[in-house]
Amino acid sequence: MNADDLDILRTVALFSLVAWASGLRLYLVVFALGLAGYNGWIELPAGLHVLQHPFVIGAAALMLCVEFFADKVPWLDSIWDQAHTFIRIPAGALLAAGATGDTVNALTVAAGILGGTITAGTHFAKAGSRIAVNTSPEPFTNWAASFTEDALVLCATILAFRHPAIFLAFFAAFLVLLAWLLPKLWRLARALFRRGSAPAGGPAP
């Protein structure tokens, strides 16, 4: 593989990473990429250089701390997910566009559209799975799910930069799983909503 092909592979891997991770842990991926770029551990494309600014790193760190605890409290995590529907998806689209360049052109617009779609899919899969997890009265399953998401984003970030081809193989498998999983989570969420809104007692005799 020549240098140009490797650059393209890395760009696609970074695009896929930020789109996917923004739906799970937006503040974690912004903080991790910003900190790594600021310290020279990785080289971010020009469109993502803004993540290296200390103000952006600090703001991401603050929100990461808030999310770390909010995401591990049963039902509070679902409220947090609902509120972040309007934050994660546009942010994922912007990050995906930034991964492809620092000027607005057809490629960045297409990357933003595709990136926002991927972020939306990841976000709704996360939100739906958390609703299912929260039906359990004990908090341990919730904690396990949250810590697993933290670890997945960190490991995926490292893998995307060190072994982009392997990351993209896992990402392709995730997209197949997502297409299979989302309709089932949607049906489950509807069933739980109907159960919760149903009258407690039966019809009067």
Is 92 within the bounds of a domain?
yes
Is 197 within the bounds of a domain?
no
pLDDT band at 199 (very low <50, low <70, confident <90, very high): very low
Is 190 within the bounds of a domain?
no
Question: Domain limits at 133?
Answer: 3-179
Is 32 within the bounds of a domain?
yes
Instruction: Give the H or E element holding residue 60.
Output: helix 54-70
| Global confidence as pTM | 0.86
Is 193 within the bounds of a domain?
no
Alpha carbon of residue 63 to chain centroid: 15
Share of the chain above pLDDT 70, in %: 90
pLDDT in tens, 137-146: 777 888 888 8
Mean pLDDT computed over every residue of the chain:
87
pLDDT of residue 91: 95
Instruction: Give the H or E element holding residue 59.
Output: helix 54-70
Alpha carbon of residue 174 to chain centroid: 12
What span, in angstroms and rounded, lies between the C-alpha atoms of 171 and 108?
20
**What does the pLDDT average to over 66-91?**
90
Please count the structural domains in the chain: 1
pLDDT in tens, 153-192: 999 999 999 999 999 999 999 999 988 888 887 777 677 6
Range in 56-65, 70-79, 115-124, 180-189 with the lowest mean pLDDT: 180-189
| Whole-angstrom Cα Rg for the chain | 19
Is 65 within the bounds of a domain?
yes
Has residue 19 got a pLDDT over 60?
yes
